[in-house]
């Protein structure tokens, strides 16, 4: 087992966007970061020598088990789990949406988050103080036309965070949900299946959040004293009043 005095932070979806920015920020704040994603080469580039990059598909039980086994062998515990891997697929109405988008969103945002959480809990229990940070969204308590598949799964993330708080009450494990509004990452490129013009339009005429803005919130939550549980942080661009009411200067 590797000996390290630094706390261990596990970040899913560390190859891009919020996960990559959080991995970098946590490394700067003294954490040994284990980053996972399917594009492991990108995680290696993100982490450099400041952490460990491992291949991870959160939707596959075997991949999750392999990833967590490796962390167990190397460190024997996890201080912070950032359940970040996720995203949206499509923007079709309930009448027109396709099955694969719905099941794809459920698998990564809900099933994957639960698989990771269950697999990491024994290691979080080995830490002096554990912390689970779930990346939700304002879509976890707001709705918009064409968003049913995504709002449903982010509402579910909120439900899981709240359930975990009940189930872990009495243990030194904190649960935080970070709920961002518009953040310019690869999120919209994935949602619009590689259509970069459609993705760009989402952020046109306003200053969206950056992945680093959200990483700041994560660092704030995890660096509070261990008795302080930041329940939830909602963070949006000033120009965004709701998921669909956004002021754009053209």
**Catalytic machinery residues:** 150
Helix (H) or strand (E) holding 178: strand 173-180
Indicate the Cα dihedral angle 163, 15, 223, 211, nearest 10°: -90
Per CB under 6 A, 104 contacts ligand NAP = no
**Could you tell me which residues are beta bridge partners of residue 33?**
9, 51
Per CB under 6 A, 190 contacts ligand NAP = yes
Position closest to ligand NAP via CB: 17
Nearer residue to ligand NAP within complex by CB, 115 or 121: 115
The most distant pair of C-alpha atoms in the chain lies apart, rounded to whole Å, by 56
Stretch of 25-33, 79-87, 120-128, 225-233 lying at the interface with ligand NAP (CB under 6 A): 79-87
Compute the least distance from the CB of residue 24 to ligand NAP, in Å.
13
Query: Within a 10 A sphere around the Cβ of 156, how many other Cβ atoms?
Result: 18
Residue from 6, 38, 61, 74 that binds ligand NAP (CB under 6 A)? 38
Stretch of 34-42, 72-80, 119-127, 141-149 lying at the interface with ligand NAP (CB under 6 A): 34-42
Stretch of 1-9, 72-80, 114-122, 186-194 lying at the interface with ligand NAP (CB under 6 A): 186-194
Nearer residue to ligand NAP within complex by CB, 85 or 120: 85
Stretch of 11-19, 44-52, 68-76, 162-170 lying at the interface with ligand NAP (CB under 6 A): 11-19
Helix (H) or strand (E) holding 11: strand 8-12
Cα 115–chain centre separation: 14
Q: Which residue has the tokens 């024997």?
A: 76
Q: Which residue has the tokens 């002021």?
A: 247
Per CB under 6 A, 117 contacts ligand NAP = no
Pure H helices in the chain: 17-28, 40-47, 61-75, 99-106, 112-124, 148-167, 187-191, 196-202, 211-222
Residue from 15, 151, 161, 243 that binds ligand NAP (CB under 6 A)? 15
Per rule CB under 6 A, count of chain residues that contact ligand NAP: 30
Which among 33, 125, 45 is positioned nearest to 84, based on CA atoms?
Answer: 33
- Compute the chain's Rg from CA coordinates: 17
- Which residues bind to ligand NAP, rule: CB under 6 A? 12-13, 15-19, 37-39, 56-59, 84-87, 108, 112, 135, 137, 180, 182-183, 185-187, 190, 211
């Amino acid at each position: 087992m590797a000996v390290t005095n630094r706390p261990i932070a596990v970040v899913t979806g560390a190859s891009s966007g919020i996960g990559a920015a959080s991995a970098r920020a946590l490394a700067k704040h003294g954490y040994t970061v284990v980053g996972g994603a399917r594009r492991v080469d990108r995680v290696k580039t993100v982490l450099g020598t400041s952490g460990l990059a491992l291949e991870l598909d959160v939707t596959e039980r075997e991949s999750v088990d392999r990833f967590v086994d490796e962390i167990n062998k190397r460190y024997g515990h996890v201080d912070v789990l950032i359940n970040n891997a996720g995203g949206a697929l499509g923007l079709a109405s309930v009448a027109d949406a396709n099955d694969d988008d719905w099941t794809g969103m459920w698998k990564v945002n809900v099933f994957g988050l639960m698989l990771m959480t269950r697999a990491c809990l024994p290691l979080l229990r080995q830490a002096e103080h554990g912390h689970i940070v779930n990346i939700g969204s304002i879509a976890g308590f707001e709705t918009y036309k064409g968003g049913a598949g995504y709002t449903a799964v982010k509402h579910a993330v909120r439900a899981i965070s709240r359930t975990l708080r009940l189930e872990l009450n009495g243990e030194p494990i904190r649960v935080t949900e970070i709920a961002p509004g518009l953040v310019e990452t690869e999120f919209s490129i994935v949602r619009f299946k590689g259509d970069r013009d459609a993705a760009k339009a989402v952020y046109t005429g306003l200053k969206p959040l950056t992945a680093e803005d959200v990483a700041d919130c994560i660092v704030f939550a995890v660096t509070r004293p261990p008795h302080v549980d930041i329940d939830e942080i909602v963070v949006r661009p000033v120009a965004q009043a709701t998921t669909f009411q956004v002021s754009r200067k053209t």
